[in-house]
């Protein structure tokens, strides 16, 4: 299987459920946000410890730190709103996809790890942005939840651009 095909196979199902199903409610959106961030925290921590390229290590650290901050904000907001995140097919798919990505990355080392991690980050962040724009923001009923999604969106754009820049240097 080509690497680009493998990457698509790992990332594409993550948000497909959201597109097929009815719009998620705020409790489901909260679960999707927390899960999506945790997936990137876990991958970032792995890259921090395993990447051979210093820029990839630094990017992994940035992902772990930035996404932990977003999760902190999300947890504070849902606690304030008394919303309990509700697992749903999208959050479960995200978790499974994240676990599959970590398992795949753990088998790799050196430049192969660096490239696979960054390729996944480019694809994953684009999928997250698509979900934020097409599903999560339009579906959020609570204005504070919607505002948080809008507030953190530029960070996901920045992450995508940074990952693409790194991707171009690893080819």
Q: What pLDDT, in 10s, does the model give residues 4-45?
A: 444 444 454 455 444 445 799 999 999 999 999 999 999 999
For 50, other C-beta atoms within 10 Å of its C-beta total 18
* Token couple for 35: 């899960």
User: 38 in a domain, yes or no?
Assistant: yes
pLDDT of residue 8: 45
Q: What is the CATH number of the domain that holds 159?
A: 1.20.1260.10
Q: Render pLDDT for 95-123 as a digit per residue (tens, 0 to 9).
A: 999 999 999 999 999 999 999 999 999 99
User: 82 in a domain, yes or no?
Assistant: yes
User: 8 in a domain, yes or no?
Assistant: no
CA–chain centroid gap for 103, Å, is 16
User: 140 in a domain, yes or no?
Assistant: yes
User: Residue 171: which pLDDT band, with cuts at 50, 70 and 90?
Assistant: confident
User: 18 in a domain, yes or no?
Assistant: no
- Domain count within the chain: 1
Q: The whole model's pTM is what?
A: 0.86
User: 17 in a domain, yes or no?
Assistant: no
CA pair distance 15, 6, nearest whole angstrom? 16
Is residue 71 helix, strand or coil? helix
The parent domain of residue 69 ranges over 25-170
Percent of the chain with pLDDT over 90: 84
User: 9 in a domain, yes or no?
Assistant: no
User: 10 in a domain, yes or no?
Assistant: no
């Amino acid at each position: 299987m080509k690497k680009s095909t493998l990457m698509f196979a790992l990332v594409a199902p993550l948000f497909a459920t959201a597109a097929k199903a009815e719009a998620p409610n705020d409790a489901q959106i909260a679960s999707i946000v927390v899960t999506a961030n945790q997936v990137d925290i876990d991958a970032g921590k792995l890259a921090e410890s395993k990447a051979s390229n210093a820029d990839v290590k630094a990017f992994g650290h940035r992902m772990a730190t930035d996404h932990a901050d977003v999760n902190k904000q999300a947890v504070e907001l849902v606690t304030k709103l008394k919303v309990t995140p509700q697992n749903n097919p999208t959050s479960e798919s995200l978790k499974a996809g994240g676990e599959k990505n970590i398992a795949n990355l753990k088998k790799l080392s050196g430049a192969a790890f660096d490239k696979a991690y960054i390729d996944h980050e480019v694809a994953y962040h684009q999928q997250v942005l698509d979900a934020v724009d097409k599903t999560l923001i339009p579906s959020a009923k609570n204005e504070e939840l919607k505002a948080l999604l809008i507030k953190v969106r530029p960070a996901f754009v920045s992450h995508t651009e940074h990952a693409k820049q790194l991707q171009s240097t690893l080819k």
